[in-house]
Amino acid sequence: MNTVKLFTDGGSRGNPGPGAIGVLILDERDNEIEKFKECIGHTTNNRAEYKALIKGLDLAAKHTRDTVHCHLDSELVVKQMSGLWRLKNDELRTLFHEAKDKERAFQKKPIYTHVRRTHPNMRKADRLVNEALDGR
């Protein structure tokens, strides 16, 4: 497989509060090839968004070494990973570098796109977050 589409979401209830991540991976024809959900403990929304991306890049590397299109509803993470915004938070800087290390698994630099929460596949990733938080 040459290209996969990665939809990731992370969230916390309370910010900070109990957090979880959701990952949805699709092939080039939008067929679902993998999904993942996990509680990640007490965290903030931004940390959860980065952790979801890190896990998503790990999982995407199982399906392609070529191209991964990353779709997130976090404008902060998209702009930071794309090099458009600076990192000011040391905790996020650590997660940023971890995500950048995961990019090395791919021949081409991942493409980051900000999508609205209302996008159908973003809703699926969000649902995975809530299922994890609800223990389902």
At 43 the pLDDT is: 98
Domains plus CATH for the chain? 3-133 (3.30.420.10)
pTM: predicted TM-score of the whole model, two decimal places: 0.97
Give mean pLDDT, residues 62-78: 97
Does residue 1 carry a pLDDT above 90? no
CB 63 within 8 A of CB 32: no
> Residue length, the chain?
136
Residue 59 identity: L
Q: In terms of Cα–Cα distance, which of 8, 2, 4, 41 is closest to 115?
A: 8
Share of the chain above pLDDT 90, in %: 96
